[in-house]
């Protein structure tokens, strides 16, 4: 996993905190669908409601793509949160867009991939958030099975779990993120969202998220 650049990582983290797309609550943690207790909740879809933040994220995602994936021919969004940014990117770059469902549609053509399937086409996958990478990498697998040449993936934010890094490495998928948990914490401290006392708990969570307790 790579971060596009450190200044972008800090700026995106700051903006996501400001619009409350990221919430931090180390003393009263959130419960994820997996059952994990977490001091952070991230919903980057909120950024779509703030034009200036939406435009900033779009601009930086495009720059990350143009820096790391020069031969891009299409954009694939991961349903559902990767779809809006994926559409915006494809529109700006004037290239095809498609998206990948988490499971096949239960009627009609029963597609997992929506859009024109062009075997051999070089595609970059767009995600909003990376946790363990499981659902994101399933989308990559579906695209590869359909014959696409997946150049890699871009995402807005990653928790930076070592497990995710290993999963992406195992599948030989290059991941470039705009911001990450390590860039978020200094911004949160500087802006007064957390205290120095909170930092130890927040740092320990990222190392052992499955077993962490407040």
The most distant pair of C-alpha atoms in the chain lies apart, rounded to whole Å, by 54
Residue 193: inside a domain, yes or no? yes
Please count the structural domains in the chain.
1
Interatomic CA distance for residues 207 and 205, integer angstroms: 5
Query: Annotated binding residue at 107?
Result: yes
Residue 127 marked in a binding site: yes
Domain holding 33, by residue range, is 2-197
Is 101 a member of any domain?
A: yes
Q: List, for residues 71-125, the tens digit of each pLDDT value.
A: 999 999 999 999 999 999 999 999 999 999 987 655 445 689 999 999 999 999 9
Q: H helices then E strands: how many in the chain?
A: 7, 11
Is 114 labelled as part of a ligand binding site?
A: no
82 in any annotated domain: yes
- Comparing CA positions, the residue from 181, 180, 177, 179 lying closest to residue 202 is 181
Q: Is 128 annotated as a binding residue?
A: yes
- Tell me the pTM: 0.94
Residue 107: give its domain's CATH number. Answer: 3.40.50.2020
Q: Within a domain: residue 124?
A: yes
SS3 call for 177:
strand
Q: Is residue 68 part of an annotated ligand binding site?
A: no
pLDDT higher than threshold 60 for residue 203: yes
Cα R_g (the chain), whole angstroms: 17
Out of 7-21, 50-64, 187-201, least confident range:
187-201
């Amino acid at each position: 996993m790579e971060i596009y650049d450190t200044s972008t990582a800090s700026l995106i983290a700051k903006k996501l905190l400001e619009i409350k797309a990221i919430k931090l609550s180390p003393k009263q943690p959130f419960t994820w669908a997996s059952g994990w207790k977490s001091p952070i909740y991230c919903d980057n879809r909120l950024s779509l409601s703030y034009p200036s933040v939406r435009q900033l994220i779009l601009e930086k995602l495009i720059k990350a793509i143009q820096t790391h994936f020069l031969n891009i021919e299409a954009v694939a969004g991961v349903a559902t949160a990767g779809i809006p940014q994926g559409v915006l990117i494809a529109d700006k770059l004037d290239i095809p867009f498609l998206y990948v469902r988490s499971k096949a549609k239960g009627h009609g053509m029963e597609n997992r991939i929506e859009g024109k399937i062009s075997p051999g086409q070089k595609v970059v996958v767009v995600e909003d958030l990376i946790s363990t990478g499981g659902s994101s990498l399933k989308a990559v697998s579906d695209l590869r099975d359909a014959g696409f040449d997946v150049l890699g993936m871009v995402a807005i934010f990653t928790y930076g779990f070592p497990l995710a890094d290993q999963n992406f490495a195992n599948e030989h998928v290059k991941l470039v993120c705009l911001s990450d948990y390590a860039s978020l914490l200094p911004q949160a401290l500087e802006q007064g969202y957390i205290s120095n006392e909170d930092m130890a708990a927040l740092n320990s969570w990222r190392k052992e998220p499955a077993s962490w307790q407040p």
